[in-house]
Amino acid sequence: MDSVYVIGRDAVPSYLRLDAGESLRMTLVVPEGESCRLALEVDLDGPGASLDLAGASMSTGTEQVDIRVTVRHNVPGCRSEQLFKSVAGGSAKVSFDGLVYVASGSVHTVAHQQNHSLLLSEGAVCESRPQLEIYADDVECSHGATTGYLNPEELFYMRSRGIPEEQARSMQVEAFLSPIYNRIDNDR
């Protein structure tokens, strides 16, 4: 079961706790025009607890989007997956702070965190601060962050087939966000 939270429509919980064997799939969507400060803390407190968290933001004006996520692996054998994708244009400012904390003794932890940003203008800013704090051995943890602009080679290729420039741009933006949108569609 996925819980989809659309910022501006739904209240997002600030704290979640998962017990042994519980799993949660959650998707956050920050639509165009919405500014927000989100802080979410998750405690994985029982073995086998599993969190699958994803988020997408689309900000093309003067929005300020600030997302902070803290995931604590407090016991052995829990899993957390995080994927956040941001599109920023105009003079929008998007920041993502993600902390994954693995407590001492939380062996066999699996934690992956990805944050990718697409900039549509010179004036937009995306900041990404992924952090791993690991105090246990025998864990599988990774994080990755990328920031880039639309690919001019792709744009030209699409235009050379007759797709107008504006449409080619929006197709690329859609493609960038598709991993998040697809999971929402699949759950419906």
Partner 1 sequence: MSDILLEIENLHAGIEGREILRGVDLRIRRGEVHAIMGPNGAGKSTLSAVLAGRPDYRVSAGIVRYDGRDLLEMAPEERSWAGIFLSFQYPVEIPGVSITNFMKAALNARRKAAGLPELTPAEYLKLLKEKMAFVQMKGEFAKREVNVGFSGGEKKRNEIFQMAMIEPTLSILDETDSGLDVDALRIVADGVNRLRSPQTASIVITHYQRLLEYIVPDVVHVLKNGRIVATGGAELVQQIETQGYDSIDG
**Closest separation in Å from C-beta 51 to partner 1:** 25
Quote the DSSP letter at residue 185. H
Burial classification of residue 151, based on how many CB atoms lie within 10 Å of its CB (0-12 exposed, 13-18 middle, 19 or more buried): exposed
Give start and end residues of each alpha helix (H) in the chain.
152-160, 165-187
- Interface mask (CB under 8 A) for partner 1, residues 138-167, using x and -? -------------xxxx-xxxxxxxxxx-x
Return the number of the residue (51 or 88) whose C-beta is nearest partner 1. Answer: 88
Is 186 near partner 1 (CB under 8 A)? no
**Closest separation in Å from C-beta 167 to partner 1:** 7
Angle between helix 152-160 and 165-187 (nearest 10): 100
Query: Near partner 1 by CB under 8 A, which window of 42-50, 103-111, 135-143, 168-176?
Result: 168-176
Of 19, 137, 174, 187, the residue at the interface with partner 1 (CB under 8 A) is 174
**Closest separation in Å from C-beta 74 to partner 1:** 36
**Closest separation in Å from C-beta 47 to partner 1:** 36
| Residues β-bridged to residue 110 | 79, 140
**Closest separation in Å from C-beta 171 to partner 1:** 6
Residue type, 180: I
Return the number of the residue (88 or 177) whose C-beta is nearest partner 1. Answer: 177
Return the number of the residue (44 or 168) whose C-beta is nearest partner 1. Answer: 168
Q: Which helix (H) or strand (E) holds 127?
A: strand 125-134
Buried b / exposed e across 113-137, counting CB within 10 Å, b at 16+? bbbbbbbbeeebbbebebeeebebe
Query: Near partner 1 by CB under 8 A, which window of 31-39, 70-78, 117-125, 169-177?
Result: 169-177
| Residues β-bridged to residue 58 | 87
Quickly tell me which residue has 């997408």 as its tokens. Answer: 56
**Closest separation in Å from C-beta 180 to partner 1:** 11
- Reading the block at residue 177, the tokens are 């966000």
Binding residues vs partner 1 (CB under 8 A) = 151-154, 156-165, 167, 171-172, 174-176, 178-179
